[in-house]
Structure 1
């Protein structure tokens, strides 16, 4: 079933991991996909892979979501090459973890500029065309850090709580204009970044087993599982859902202390 036929979708930070899985799933569902990625090499490579594997149109546009001018140029290029965007997935993000009184002003600014400001820059750039057509879907990738907080992960959860607030505010503002705005909060997903983090530990395999054992389902999530939910939210089937935050974390946030 191609639920996204004839739709144009922008996925930020889609050069790898969750974003790449979402872009690929959208292409499989019939969408034309724009990968808005800061790294030109990974973005171009993923666009080529998706086009070759699915036959769908996939392009890459170098984008720094923290820079409003860069975002506006990206949306203008996507519109020129593919048409007005029907779907936006704000997936680009950066994990900045630390002790609140130890992080620098630069740490705070980097986290907020990408994780929160970046989502707003992209939403602001696509909303005028969506409002004109009275149709659109915006999906913000938040985190289970938006629901529960771990010590020494500051200010990442602050930004992700803000993403939920942005989602709800925009959802209510444009609910009557045919635009659905929702969020997805993934837990521990098996991405290249997670694999890199495991390899920084003295015993990568042991640390991975320990991490998996902490998940109620006994494993890490797969990027494809997040992509499946994003495809639903991007489709016309889910347009009565707006302002929601769908948690995909294997049960972590519903578990009390043990």
Structure 2
């Protein structure tokens, strides 16, 4: 174990699986006191137990849950790190989208990130330090047809990152984002499972990338560790793309 986050209190949303789980585990291995804020009690409690963290059942779209998660984290000390990871793919052709799905996507993938940030900012500002890491997406830069309105929310999250980063930099609070591309998570595997040949669809996704593979949650997690640590004091209001170089390609 290293000590890059020693004794820092880190609140990670959606940490019961996938990228959030990998971040929670990486933070714990670096000495942080991790709060697993997760809606799924079974997965969240399991991760928290295995890393010696604190589990708080949290639906980030519910104001009382947001307040409860932050209050629970504050029993360990002032929140030093917030990772806004909870979210979901909401994909439609725009004209076929039920209006309620717009509201669901914005509430979960954008508004909840501000709600969590708003809740931890008073403590961070008071102690003159803090790091917020938002898990955005390559959808925040590139548009894939039939994925509406998810890219709208992720464009907004990148805007939120930049706005908060500039606003609170004078008070010692840094706000950055990570934009993953194809990452080997349960969400990706569920998506491939919708096809007649999931293995072939995964192979197609891997072949799209210069490295002929997709990323792992752990590769995203270590970037989050860096951004949350004292090793990145002058990185602020920035978004780091983790897509293996896919977005640099002009065409396949």
Structure 1 position 176 matched with structure 2 position 170: yes
Residues 147, 253 of structure 1: 8 Å contact kept? no
Q: Which residue of 1 aligns with 2:218?
A: 224
Residues 26, 33 of structure 1: 8 Å contact kept? yes
Give the match's secondary structure for 1:24: helix
| 1:110-149 alignment, distance < 5 Å | 110-149=104-143
| 1:1-258 alignment, distance < 5 Å | 1-51=2-52, 58-80=53-75, 82-258=76-252
Give the match's secondary structure for 2:102: helix
After TM superposition, the runs of 4+ consecutive aligned structure 1 residues lying more than 3 A away are none
Normalising by structure 1, report the TM-score. Answer: 0.95
RMSD of aligned alpha carbons: 0.9
How far the C-alpha of 1:75 sits from its partner, in A, is 0.3
Distance in 1 of aligned mates of 2:107 and 2:60? 8
Normalising by structure 2, report the TM-score. Answer: 0.97
Residues 171, 182 of structure 1: 8 Å contact kept? yes
How far the C-alpha of 1:85 sits from its partner, in A, is 0.7
Distance in 1 of aligned mates of 2:248 and 2:63? 37
Give the match's secondary structure for 1:61: strand
Gap regions ≥5 residues in structure 2: none
Q: How many positions carry a matched residue from both structures?
A: 251
How far the C-alpha of 1:14 sits from its partner, in A, is 0.5
Give the match's secondary structure for 2:82: strand
Residues 144, 187 of structure 1: 8 Å contact kept? yes
How far the C-alpha of 1:49 sits from its partner, in A, is 1.8
Distance in 1 of aligned mates of 2:50 and 2:65? 24
Residues 17, 223 of structure 1: 8 Å contact kept? yes
